[in-house]
Each structure stands twice: as structure tokens, then as C-alpha cells.
Chains A and B, each alone.
Chain A
Amino acid sequence: MSPTAVLYVAQALHGLAYGMLLFLIASGLTLIFGMMGILNIAHASFAMLAAYFCFTALKLTGNFWAALLIAPIFAGIVGVLTERFLLRPVHKHGHLAELLITVGIMTLILEIVKLFWGTESLVVKIPESLNGLLHIAGLTYPVYRIFVIGLSIVILGFMALILFKTRLGKIVQAAVSDADMVSALGINTPLVFMLVFGIGIWLAGVAGAVAGPLLTVFPGMADQLGMDAFVVVVVGGFGSLIGAFIVALFLGELNAYGIQFIPRLAPVLMFAFMALVLAFKPTGLFGERE
């Protein structure tokens, strides 16, 4: 391949890796919104928390794979507890109160992270087996990013299988379209909510833990990931996984190529695009309801 083509392909892969990470976060966010009507402002904060968990677990165990496994699970547990003890009690006060409590949770997570880990950027070392460079047809590409793309695809495939092929998946899908009706049919929706919230946080946690070595782990991580995930969910349409998927990939590519060609305009374009979509189709590109 010519050097220019190599450059383009490398950027495309960068974009794909970031897009997949975004989708891991956004998928949980959009499912939670679809089912419970909560815009979880703190969603990316949980991803950041998982990244810090991963850093500490790596320090304690010395094994990257173990850390990668443990960190999202711990984040998921924190998520389940949050849902049970903070979100559920305010449910009766309406959506605004739920929205506000996630704002409070976001602040708390940020402060707790600063308290325990400080404000510096922490570097998560990746193991030797992932640290190399891959050579394919003249293209040199870091193995770790390929690993990120592969892992995301595997997890998402697994999730899709659960969502579309199991009973739990059917219940979740039904609850996204009408939670009250599902509850009336005798299904314990609070339990399902708790489960979905936990799984959503777990997905975000995987993304955060995996993103740690790419972005380094720092307290501003939640803002960066959260803004982008928010755009993905809004533009893609609330409760729409397909929409989130397409927009996440698009955004990843926009990010990758934008940084190269229009470094100044890329983020502005992203938000302008979101504003336009909201202005003309408030439900998002693929969403059906507000």
C-alpha cells in the first residue's frame, strides 16, 4: 500500500476502536434510558471508576487480564447498589429528581476518584503480549487497538445474543417499549431495572477499563467519554441500539479523521450536528419517542 493509503487505513482503525468503546458506553446508556426513562449523567463516571479500579487491581494482582475482568464487575456492583439505594427511592418524585440524583452521583464519583487516586494522569501498563505492533500488508498497527476492537465485537455479539434470543432479552425489549405493561403482566420490573442498570454499568466499565491504557486514567476522563456518549445517544435516538451503533462508529471516524484534517472544527461540528438533529427530529435519527 502507498504511505497515504496506510495513513488513511490506520486512522480508520483508530476511529473504529474509539467508536466501539463509545458504543460500549452508549449501549448501556440508551437501554437504561429506554427502560427507565433516566438520562444517566453519571454513566461515563462509572466507566472512569472502572478504569481506576483496573489501575488498582493491576497494581495489586500484577495481572492485566485479571484486572480487566475484576474492574468492570466491581463497577457493575457499585452500579447496582446505586440503583437500589439512590435511584429507586427518588423514582416516585419523577424524572427530574432522577436526573438530578445522577448529577449528584457524577459529582461524588469525581470527588471520590480525586480523593483516592489524586488528580494526576495514571498510566496503565499493558502486558507484553498486547504491546507489540502488527504488520499486515505494509500497515503497522498497535496490537492493543486491534484487541480493543476484537473484544468490543465479542462482547457486543454476546449482548445481542442475550437481548434477542433469551427470555430476559425479550423482557428488556418489551420494557423498553412499555415498562408499565410489562409490570402489569406480573414481571418484577424493579428487579429487571436493577439488572439492566448493573449490566449497563458493567458495559461502560469494560469500556473504561479497556480505554485506560489508550487515554491514560485521569479525572477528566468521564467528561471526555461522557460528552461523546451523550452525543451518540441523543443523535442515535433514545432506546435505539442500532442508532447508537451507527452514530458511535460515525463519531469515532469523525474524531479520527477530524483530528487529522480539521482539528478545530471537528468537535464543534459534532455538537452542531447534534443540535441540528435535535432541532428537526427531537427523537434522534433512529428513535421513535422522546
Chain B
Amino acid sequence: MSTKLSNWILWGVVIILLAVFPYLVSFYYLNMFIAFAIFSLYAVTLNILLGYMGVLSFGHAMFFGTGAYAVALVLRHIEGFPLLPTILVGGLAGGLLALVLCPLLVRVSGTAFAMLTLAFSMLIFVAALKFREITGGEDGIGITSIPPLNIPGLVSIDMTDKINFYYFAIIVVAICLYLLWFYTKTPFGSLIVGIRDNALRMDYLGFNLPQTKAINLVVSGTFAGIAGAVHGLLMKLVSTVGVLDIGTSFKPLMMAYIGGVGSFFGPIIGSAILHILEDVVIRFTDRIGLVNGTIFILVVLFAPQGLIGLFNTAKAKWFQKETAS
């Protein structure tokens, strides 16, 4: 009872903090926070594959980037396209890409999966770079105006206002994160963890492995597409370097790994750490990649379960000592 109450209080405090946040900080930090939220969602979708299903998506940027490009294209070519369907288009594009690729991807695991995803993301990257009539090549596509959030008969909220956009982005990300969290708690989510731990056994138990993996891939791709869509709206520019390149694929990987791939909230913590770190490091040096890379290597070397894993081990040790003494 009391833990339930404290949970409610905790969530209440978080929501109030999120609500007053834009009035406390400058636009710079507001933008940073939105980017943090987007990359949290993006890293969580990667972790749905890496932590839950045990396969490494090495080219996750293809889902992210496809979502972003879909949004940019829709906004450019269709006059007056409303906001919410725009986000859904992004998700649909990412999901569709995952659906197209899944007949190939479900057949492999381990290093082969990583390579296959890397190969396809390279293919899409190069294609986006070369077909410049559609994608704008290296220049990308600018998003000149974000449509207002229009609920017919009720309200029309102007999204060019930074604070309004903040609320919108945070709510979209929060809903997506909640859905994904719920998804991992369903029996279907447990099935996916089962496949990670012992695929053969799940097969013998009569579950349809390729289908299950395919659904998980599509879920991951869809939400990565949504993350890409919001990212495109935030940056107001979608270009190959920034949403489709290999760096964009590695970023959520670092976040997930530093935070901890074993848990749902690990990638979110990783995303927070990397964003805060970037903000701090940039005051002293431009070599943010050097710091990130070093931390990443140290984590892979010494803390394969990430910070959450370290925290859990420390907690276990602490309590062991207490009970022993």
C-alpha cells in the first residue's frame, strides 16, 4: 500500500517537473531535453532487439532515418498535412521497412544479424545520398513549417512555439515508452526473452519463432520510425548525415550499453548520461567522441551489464554484508 502510494507520488513529482521544466530553463536546454527524450525512445527500441531478443541491430539508423525522411517528404509534398498523422506516417515507414526486411532478418542471429542490418542500412544510406531528386542528397530536406496540432472543433495549437512543441514531443515519447514498457510485460514480451535465452526450447514448446521475431522487429522499427519523425520535426532538417549514417546507428548502441542492456530503463539512463556528458565536456574540449568512445570501451570491458548492472551488483553486495553482520 505504502509503496503504491509512494509510486504515485513519485510519478506525480516527475510529471509536475516535466510540466514546469520549460519555464525554468533556456531554449538551449529545452532543445537538449527534447533530443534526450527522442534518443531515449530510439535507444529503447534498439534495446527491444538487443536486450530482449538478443540480436544486435547494427544499422538501426535505417528505421530512424526512414521515419524522418517519410515525415519530411509528406510535409513537403502534401499541403496542410495534419500533425498527428505525420507522426504516424513516420512510424508506419519504419515499421514497413522492418516488415520488408524481416523475412531475411528472422533467419539469422548473432554476428550475421548485425552484418545484415549494417548492410541494409548502408544500402539505404547510399541510396538516399544518390537519389537526390527525391531525398535532396547531402543537403537533405528542410521542414519549413510544422503543422499545428489540430483537434477539430476543440483546439488548434501552434507547434512553431518551442514550449508547445516541447509538450507535444514529450507526450509522444512518453506514450511510446509506456506502450513499449507494457509490450515487454505482456506474455508476448516474455516469449521474446525466452527466445533470447533458449530459442530451441521455445521452438519445441510449439511457438512460432520466425513470426514472433518478425513481430518484434516490426514493433522496434515502428517506434524507431516515430523517434525519427519527432527528431525530424525538432531539427527541421532531415539529411543523410544525421539520421541515416553509421554514427546514428552507433549512438543508441552506446546509450543502451552504457545504461545497461538488461533492463528497460537502462537505455534511457544511458541517453541521459551521454547528453549530460556532452553538455559538460563541450565546455572544456571539442573531443566529445574521444570521451564517449573511452567510456564505451570501459563499459564493454568492465561492466557488460552497464550502469544498471553495476548498481544491482553493488546493491546485492551491500545487502549481503548487512545480513551477514
Contacts and interface: CB of A to CB of B under 8 A. Distances in A.
Contacts of B123: 268, 271-272, 274-275
B117 to A, nearest CB: 10
A107 B108 contact: no
Nearest to B58: A99
A234 interface: yes
B56 A90 contact: no
A39 interface: yes
Interface stretch (A65-73, A108-116, A188-196): A108-116
Nearest to B50: A96
**Of residues B56, B119, B120, B123, which shows the largest number of chain A Cβ atoms within 10 Å of its Cβ?**
B119
B119 A103 contact: no
Interface string B117-146: 011101100110111000000000000000
B187 interface: no
A268 B123 CA distance: 6
B85 interface: no
B126 A103 contact: no
Contacts of B294: 108
B119 A234 contact: yes
Contacts of A231: 119
A110 B288 CA distance: 12
Contacts of B56: 96, 99-100
Contact of B250 (A107, A111, A227): A107
A39 B115 contact: yes
A41 to B, nearest CB: 9
Interface stretch (B34-42, B65-73, B223-231, B296-304): B296-304
Contacts of B315: none
A191 B2 CA distance: 59
B166 to A, nearest CB: 31
Given A103-B250, A223-B246, A227-B122, A90 B290 contact: no
Contact of A271 (B114, B126, B253): B126
Interface string A83-108: 00010011001011101110111011
Contacts of B118: 230
B111 A97 contact: no
Nearest to A274: B119
A107 B292 contact: yes
B287 interface: yes
B221 to A, nearest CB: 17
Nearest to A115: B287
A234 to B, nearest CB: 6
A129 to B, nearest CB: 38
A231 B130 CA distance: 18
B200 interface: no
Contact of A39 (B111, B127, B293): B111
Interface in A110-155: 110-112, 114-115
A230 B114 CA distance: 12
A115 B293 CA distance: 14
Nearest to B261: A96
A37 B104 CA distance: 21
Chain B, interface size: which category? 35 or more
B110 A100 contact: no
A37 B111 contact: yes
Contacts of B257: 100
B99 interface: no
Interface in B130-181: 130-131
Contacts of A89: 301
B116 interface: yes
Contact of A267 (B108, B126, B253, B296): B126
Interface in A179-228: 223, 227
A264 B130 contact: yes
Contacts of A101: 297, 300-301
B139 to A, nearest CB: 16
Nearest to A112: B290
A115 B116 CA distance: 33
18 contacts: A37-B111, A90-B300, A93-B300, A96-B56, A96-B114, A100-B253, A100-B257, A103-B296, A104-B293, A107-B289, A111-B287, A114-B287, A114-B289, A115-B290, A264-B130, A268-B130, A275-B123, A282-B112
Interface of B: 56, 58, 104, 107-108, 110-112, 114-116, 118-120, 122-123, 126-127, 129-131, 246, 250, 253, 257, 287, 289-290, 292-294, 296-297, 300-301, 304
Given A96-B110, A96-B111, A290-B112, 18 more contacts: A90-B301, A95-B110, A100-B257, A100-B300, A101-B300, A104-B293, A107-B250, A107-B296, A108-B293, A111-B293, A230-B118, A268-B123, A271-B123, A274-B123, A275-B123, A282-B107, A282-B108, A290-B108
